A and B are shown apart, each in its own frame.
Chain A
Amino acid sequence: DTGVSQNPRHKITKRGQNVTFRCDPISEHNRLYWYRQTLGQGPEFLTYFQNEAQLEKSRLLSDRFSAERPKGSFSTLEIQRTEQGDSAMYLCASSPRGKQGSYEQYFGPGTRLTVT
């Protein structure tokens, strides 16, 4: 399978704990995105990487959230001191080096976080 992969698929944690999610994009895709999706809503943008550079962070991304993409390959999203409001599906997407008009984003299966 050469699609976007995410691990773990499910994570249950207690409030106040730290969690880390991993995303492996499609090979050679230089753009990587994190989105958050809550029940009954569309995905909401969190942050964007071009290669290893984090170029934008949404206001949704509080100081408890941090994302990295070392060497421009896989990415990690860490949430510190989790709160019940962090419970959501965390989606990763990647898109290829942009040829003219190419903006397709391919999503992974997501990590379902439940904070108890």
Chain B
Amino acid sequence: QQQVKQSPQSLIVQKGGISIINCAYENTAFDYFPWYQQFPGKGPALLIAIRPDVSEKKEGRFTISFNKSAKQFSLHIMDSQPGDSATYFCAGLNSGGSNYKLTFGKGTLLTVNP
């Protein structure tokens, strides 16, 4: 059972454009939703996260939009740069659970062309 579905699988954007990655979750107990950025050969790095009591969170060029009723959330990268080229993962976590484990999507490979 894939609890977090991520799309698209890959995305190509021109420098300066907006990159949009979408995620849908099934587990209604999830109440913490982070996004991670991963470069080849490196571990995932936490970018930004949101709790479901807000509909949007912005940090620099990165914005999460959250739709609780649709059980969807998305990452928007404004003014995309070649250095943003990486794989992005969304995830969900149930803070009321016993283990605080993250359940990840399958990832989106973002390529930003110069």
Q: Which residues of A contact B (CB under 8 A)?
A: 4, 6, 31, 33, 35, 40-45, 48, 55-56, 58, 91, 93, 95, 101, 103-110, 112
Name B residues whose Cβ lies closer than 8 Å to a Cβ of A.
Answer: 4, 6, 32, 34, 36, 41-46, 49, 51, 89, 91, 93, 95, 98-107
Let me know if A110 and B43 touch, CB within 8 A.
yes
Q: Which 9 pairs, one residue from A and one from B, show the smallest C-beta to C-beta distance?
A: A42-B104, A107-B43, A45-B101, A56-B99, A48-B99, A103-B32, A109-B43, A107-B44, A42-B89
Let me know if B46 and A106 touch, CB within 8 A: yes
Additional pairs, 13, CB under 8 Å, beyond known A6-B43, A103-B95, A103-B100: A33-B100, A33-B101, A40-B106, A42-B107, A43-B44, A56-B98, A101-B95, A103-B32, A105-B46, A107-B43, A108-B43, A109-B41, A112-B41
> Does the CB pair A42–B106 fall under 8 Å?
yes
Q: Which residues of B contact A105 (CB under 8 A)?
A: 34, 46, 100, 102
CA distance A40 to B49 in the complex (A): 22
Which residues of B sit under 8 angstroms from A35, Cβ to Cβ? 102
Q: Which residues of A contact B4 (CB under 8 A)?
A: 42
Nearest CB of chain B from residue A11's CB, rounded to whole Å: 14
What's the Cα separation between A91 and B51 when bound, in Å? 25
Chain B residues with Cβ under 8 A from A55's Cβ? 98-99
Q: Which residues of A contact B45 (CB under 8 A)?
A: 107
A33→B97 CA distance, assembly (Å): 15
A44, B100: Cβ atoms closer than 8 Å: no
In the docked arrangement, what's the CA distance between A109 and B49, Å?
20
CB-CB nearest in chain B for A6: B43
Residues of B within 8 A of A42 (CB): 4, 6, 89, 91, 104-107
A100–B45 Cα gap in the complex (Å)?
22
Nearest CB on A from B89, distance (A): 5
Q: Is the CB of A41 within 8 A of B44?
A: no
Find out whether the CB atom of B103 lies under 8 angstroms from the CB atom of A45: yes
A109 near B46: Cβ-Cβ < 8 Å: no
Q: Compute how far the CA of A44 lies from the CA of B107 in the bound complex, rounded to whole angstroms.
A: 12
B43 contacts across to A, CB distance below 8 A: 4, 6, 91, 93, 107-110
User: Are B44 and A91 interface neighbours, CB within 8 A?
Assistant: yes
